[in-house]
């Protein structure tokens, strides 16, 4: 039998179905691949119209669009390969082949769903942080978003392991047997995690606050699951375990409602009592008239005699707590105090020493002949 005769005899039963399967598979694969973006755009467009009332829906849909494009392309390959498998794979292996393709599709779908969920978390966090009225604490949003990401990844890994045919209950049992070892190895990690939860619950500080402990001082950059990042005033970043911060005393300077100024002013010993009283009254008037000095409390008093004159103790609170504003208030008050001293002809005292010379002794150490 020649080739042509064989072709005619088998065309309708073998060759035509095979060619049809190849053409159909190619059409499905190329069609879904070429039009994947348009199909994804149609689906996301419908989703946007349905969820237009919800402000958070937009970022979530945007995060799902790219994974959806990829999934449509993968779906084309799945259908195309299924068509080819139905034609070319023997009946004894067809079930296993289709099961393998279906399992592979499920795993890819799970991975894309996890990717979409993780991508959607970031815009949702940004949206919550930018919410008007600060309805949600930014630190809590960041902390919870990290926990949610870990939970989503863990769930995805468990589902994928189950799809691969492994016994999840056996895996859980194995983890239970090794739990003691893991717990002992992860004591520090667990303590830092609970320390972070304590920080989030008690809120001793949040991102952007200026804090001080017995060992460091700086601005909080962020709070993670295990540690807190602090930027010192020398522009160095310090990573502190949460367990350390949760067990130490913390001064949160950012929560000051006013900032105290204390200073001592010494004037010379030739200052008369009327001059001293006039200076004290003048400084009190300066503090009472300054718009950025808290009027609930300020004090100016002659407190002690010093070796160089008289000491005045001055204390007041600045209503402005940011460091540049606080220093500006101090400077303005000090300049006005300087003017007050000049008006009263009172001079600040400086360390002085009186030296007495014995002229009866010559420089050579010999007694004078006079």
What pLDDT digit, counting tens, does each position of 17-74 carry?
777 888 888 898 898 889 889 988 898 888 888 877 776 677 778 778 888 888 888 8
Cβ-based burial of 76 (10 A; exposed 0-12, middle 13-18, buried ≥19): buried
Is the pLDDT confidence value at 12 over 60? no
Q: Do 19 and 165 share a domain, yes or no?
A: yes
Spatial neighbors of 132 by CB under 8 A, at least 6 apart, are none
Q: How far apart are CA 362 and CA 346, in angstroms?
A: 40
> Of 254, 279, 309, which marks where a domain is finished?
254
Q: What's the CATH code of the domain at 280?
A: 3.30.70.100
pLDDT at 146 over 80: no
- Co-location of 54 and 157 in the same domain: yes
Q: Is residue 368 part of a domain?
A: no
Q: Say whether both 17 and 126 belong to one domain.
A: yes
Residue 308 lies in a domain: yes
Structure tokens at 27: 């059409």
Judge whether 2 lies within some domain.
no
Residues 137 and 203 in one domain: no
Please say if the pLDDT value at position 225 is more than 50.
yes
pLDDT tens for 185-198 read 556 666 777 777 77
The answer as to whether 352 is a domain residue is no
The total domain count for the chain is 3
* Domain of residue 245, residue span: 187-254
Other CB atoms within 10 Å distance of the CB of residue 116: 19
Residues 320 and 192 in one domain: no
Give the residue ranges of DSSP H helices in 242-308. 242-246, 273-289
**Cα-flanking dihedrals φ and ψ of residue 166, to 5°?**
-80, 150
Confidence of residue 95 (pLDDT cuts 50, 70, 90): confident
Establish if 179 belongs to a structural domain: no
- Is the residue at 367 inside a domain? no
Give the separation between CA 233 and CA 245, rounded to whole angstroms.
19
Same domain, 65 and 154: yes
**Residue 16 shares a structural domain with residue 157:** yes
Q: Would you say residue 4 lies in a domain?
A: no
243 lies in the same domain as 265: no
Q: Are residues 44 and 129 in the same domain?
A: yes
Indicate whether 302 pLDDT > 80.
Answer: yes
> Which domain CATH number covers 195?
2.30.30.60
Backbone φ and ψ of 336, nearest 5°: -70, -35
Residues 49 and 131 occupy one common structural domain: yes
Residues written for the chain:
370
Q: How far apart are CA 93 and CA 53, in angstroms?
A: 50
Q: Mind listing the pLDDT tens digit for each residue in 239-274?
A: 998 888 888 889 998 888 899 999 999 999 899 999
Q: Buried b vs exposed e over 204-242: b needs ≥16 C-beta within 10 Å?
A: bbbbebbbeeeeebbbbebbebbbbbbeeeeeeeeebbb
In this structure, the answer to whether residues 159 and 217 fall within a common structural domain is no
Tokens for 138, please give them: 């930014």
Within-domain flag for 192: yes
Spatial CA neighbour of 129 closest among 206, 224, 219:
206
Buried-state track 29-68, b at ≥16 Cβ within 10 A, e below 16:
beebbeebeebbeebbeebeeeeeeeeeeebbbebbbebb
Same structural domain for residues 331 and 281?
yes
């Amino acid at each position: 039998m020649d080739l042509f005769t064989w072709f005619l005899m088998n065309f309708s039963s073998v060759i035509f179905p095979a060619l049809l399967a190849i053409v159909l598979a190619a059409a499905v694969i190329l069609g879904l691949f070429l039009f994947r973006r348009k199909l994804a755009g149609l689906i996301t467009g419908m989703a946007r119209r349905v969820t237009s009332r919800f402000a958070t829906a937009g970022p979530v849909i945007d995060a799902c669009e790219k994974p959806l494009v990829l999934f449509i392309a993968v779906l084309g390959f799945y259908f195309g390969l299924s068509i080819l498998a139905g034609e070319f794979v023997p009946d004894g292996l067809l079930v296993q082949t289709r099961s393998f393709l279906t399992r592979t599709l499920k795993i890819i779908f799970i991975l894309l769903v996890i990717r979409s969920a993780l991508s959607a978390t970031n815009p949702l966090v940004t949206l919550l942080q930018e919410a008007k009225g600060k309805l949600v604490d930014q630190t809590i949003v960041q902390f919870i978003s990290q926990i949610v990401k870990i939970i989503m990844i863990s769930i995805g890994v468990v589902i994928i392991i189950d799809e691969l045919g492994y016994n999840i209950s056996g895996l859980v049992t194995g983890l239970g047997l090794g739990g003691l070892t893991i717990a002992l190895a992860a004591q520090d990690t667990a303590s830092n995690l609970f320390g972070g939860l304590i920080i989030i619950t008690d809120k001793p500080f949040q991102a952007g606050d200026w804090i001080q402990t017995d060992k460091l001082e700086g601005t909080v950059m962020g709070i993670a699951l295990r540690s807190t990042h602090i930027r010192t005033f020398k522009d160095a970043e310090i990573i502190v375990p949460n367990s350390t911060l949760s067990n130490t005393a913390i001064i949160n300077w950012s929560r000051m409602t006013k900032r105290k100024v204390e200073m001592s002013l010494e004037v010379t010993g030739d200052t008369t009592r009327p001059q001293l009283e006039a200076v004290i009254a003048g400084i009190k008037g300066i503090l009472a008239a300054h718009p950025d000095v808290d009027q609930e409390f300020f004090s100016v008093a002659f407190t002690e005699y010093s070796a160089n004159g008289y000491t005045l103790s001055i204390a007041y609170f600045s209503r402005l707590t940011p460091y540049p504003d606080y220093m500006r208030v101090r400077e303005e008050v000090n300049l006005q105090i300087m003017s007050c001293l000049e008006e009263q002809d009172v001079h600040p005292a400086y360390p002085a020493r009186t030296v007495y010379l014995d002229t009866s002794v010559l420089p050579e150490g010999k007694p004078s002949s006079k």
